[in-house]
């Protein structure tokens, strides 16, 4: 057992438990224990469990991203303060002020990566579970000899779940090649669409004019193609898990954009229009000015009746 397998041992055990419990459920409902459909449905069940458990983290991510947008004016002031200052003292001072700003507002630029970072150990735990099963090795939890043999024999449309794109190509199993090719295309498309709807619909006009936005727009066309590596390297079963998780992300992001859009974005304006059409928002409602910062002036103090009489 190598170092990573040792670290992931508890998660591997949990993944086996969830996978086997779903497998037993579908078997109890009348599906064949050896059927590839049963194992695919079990993998989809694992996605549901993992992504449902991540909903609180996702909500926290959304709130943190909102705070990141709120602090952009203050961030620009810090950047302007140290513009053209390349000495080490200035860089350290700018870094300290930036970190203090993040701490003050309870956010950080890495918050958007948190859900996927949490998912990666689960992903690799499933990779080890399926790899060990494909090697005929009994699992560390509920994946006993019978279930291991069942997975090894499982296939869908004639494509073994344990087979990779390379193995399918070498053995001329064109069903595996075709399925994995279609899955990779779907993963790339779902990832691209997820990022595109965030950047086109849920980003304020001010942010779209920033250099950071232009850099992220370039990454929009690069990052999705990372799935080419997983499509070739990982077995069919693991790619099914990742594709389903991607589709979940795309659907979840669409719901968030429609119900909780960032102020000043295209999605926010569309939501305001929908609310107005339903009569839930009027022209003089306070939401109409939510996207614009309020002027900082001295607040007028209330005047008592006695002082009002003196002024007269």
Tens digit of pLDDT for each residue in 58-87?
777 766 766 776 677 787 788 788 888 878
Query: Does residue 225 lie in a domain region?
Result: yes
Co-location of 26 and 132 in the same domain: yes
Co-location of 20 and 65 in the same domain: yes
Co-location of 178 and 245 in the same domain: yes
β-strands 159-160, 155-156: how paired? antiparallel
Co-location of 163 and 269 in the same domain: yes
Residue-range definition of the domain harbouring residue 230: 158-275
Query: Does residue 311 lie in a domain region?
Result: no
Co-location of 94 and 243 in the same domain: no
Co-location of 18 and 164 in the same domain: no
Q: Is 70 exceeded by the pLDDT of residue 88?
A: yes
Higher pLDDT, 112 or 80: 80
Q: What is the pLDDT of residue 266?
A: 81
Co-location of 78 and 66 in the same domain: no
**Beta-carbon-side half-sphere exposure of residue 25 (alpha carbons within 13 Å):** 13
pTM flag (> 0.75): no
Co-location of 216 and 172 in the same domain: yes
Cβ contacts of 123 within 8 Å, gap of 6 or more: 238, 241, 242
Query: Does residue 23 lie in a domain region?
Result: yes
Strand residue runs (E) in 69-151 = none
Q: What is the pLDDT of residue 123?
A: 80
**Digit-coded pLDDT (tens) for 191-236:** 888 877 777 777 776 666 666 666 667 766 777 777 777 778 888 8
Query: Does residue 29 lie in a domain region?
Result: yes
Report in angstroms the alpha-carbon separations of 294 from 133, 156, 289, 297: 61, 59, 8, 9
**Digit-coded pLDDT (tens) for 260-294:** 777 777 888 888 888 888 877 665 444 434 444 44
Query: Does residue 51 lie in a domain region?
Result: yes
Residue 45: count other Cβ atoms within 10 Å of its Cβ. 17
């Amino acid at each position: 057992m190598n170092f990573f397998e040792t670290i992931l041992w508890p998660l591997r055990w949990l993944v086996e438990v969830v996978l086997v419990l779903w497998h037993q459920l579908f078997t109890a409902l009348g599906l064949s224990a050896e059927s590839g459909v049963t194992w695919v449905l079990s993998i989809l069940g694992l996605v549901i469990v993992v992504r449902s458990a991540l909903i609180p983290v996702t909500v926290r991510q959304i709130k943190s991203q909102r705070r990141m947008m709120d602090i952009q004016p203050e961030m620009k002031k810090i950047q302007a303060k140290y513009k053209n200052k390349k000495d080490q003292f200035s860089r350290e001072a700018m870094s300290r002020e930036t970190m203090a700003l993040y701490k003050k507002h309870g956010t950080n630029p890495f918050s958007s990566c948190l859900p996927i970072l949490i998912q990666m150990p689960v992903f690799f735990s499933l990779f080890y579970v399926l790899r060990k099963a494909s090697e005929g090795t009994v699992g560390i939890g509920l994946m006993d000899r019978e279930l291991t043999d069942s997975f090894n024999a499982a296939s869908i449309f004639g494509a073994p779940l344990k087979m990779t794109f390379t193995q399918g190509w070498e053995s001329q199993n064109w069903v595996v090649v075709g399925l994995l090719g279609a899955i990779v295309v779907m993963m790339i498309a779902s990832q691209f669409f997820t990022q595109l709807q965030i950047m086109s619909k849920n980003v304020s006009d001010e942010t779209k004019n920033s250099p950071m936005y232009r850099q992220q727009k370039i990454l929009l066309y690069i990052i999705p193609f990372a799935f080419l590596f997983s499509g070739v390297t990982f077995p069919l079963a693991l790619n099914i898990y990742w594709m389903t998780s991607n589709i979940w992300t795309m659907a979840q992001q669409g719901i968030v954009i429609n119900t909780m859009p960032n102020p000043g974005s295209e999605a926010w304006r569309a939501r305001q229009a929908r609310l107005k059409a339903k009569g839930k928002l009027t022209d003089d409602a306070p939401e109409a000015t939510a996207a614009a910062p309020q002027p900082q002036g001295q607040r007028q103090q209330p005047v008592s009746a006695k002082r009002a009489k003196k002024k007269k």
